[in-house]
Amino acid sequence: MQYDMPTPSKPLNIGTRGSPLALAQAHETRARLAAAFDLPHDAFAIVVISTAGDRIIDRPLKEIGGKGLFTREIEDALLDGSIDIAVHSMKDMPTLQPEGLLLDTYLPREDVRDAFISLNASALSDLPQGSVVGTSSLRRQAQLRLRRPDLQVVEFRGNLQTRLKKLGDKVADATFLAMAGLNRLKMDDVPRTPIEVTGMLPAVAQGAIGIERRINDLRTADMLAAIHDGPTGQRLAAERTFLAALDGSCETPIAGLAELDGTSLRLRGEVLRPDGSGALNDDMTVLIEDGAAAGKEMATKLLERAGEGFFDWRAR
* Residues with catalytic function: 92
Give the SS3 label for residue 12: strand
d(CA 74, CA 49) in angstroms, rounded, equals 6
Contact, 84 vs 75, CB < 8 A? no
- 257: DSSP letter: E
- DSSP assignment of 108-153 equals PP----EEEEESS-SSGGGSPTT-EEE---HHHHHHHHHH-TTSEE
d(CA 184, CA 207) in angstroms, rounded, equals 10
- 94: DSSP letter: -
Secondary-structure breakdown of the chain: helix, strand, coil percentages, each rounded to the nearest 5: 40, 25, 40
Long-range contacts of 257-262 (CB under 8 A, 24+ apart): 257/112, 257/197, 257/201, 257/202, 257/204, 257/206, 258/234, 258/291, 258/295, 259/235, 260/231, 260/234, 260/235, 260/288
- Taking the alpha carbons at both ends of the chain, their separation in whole angstroms is 56
Contact, 108 vs 129, CB < 8 A? no
d(CA 242, CA 297) in angstroms, rounded, equals 8
d(CA 29, CA 86) in angstroms, rounded, equals 10
Number of H helices, E strands in the chain: 10, 13
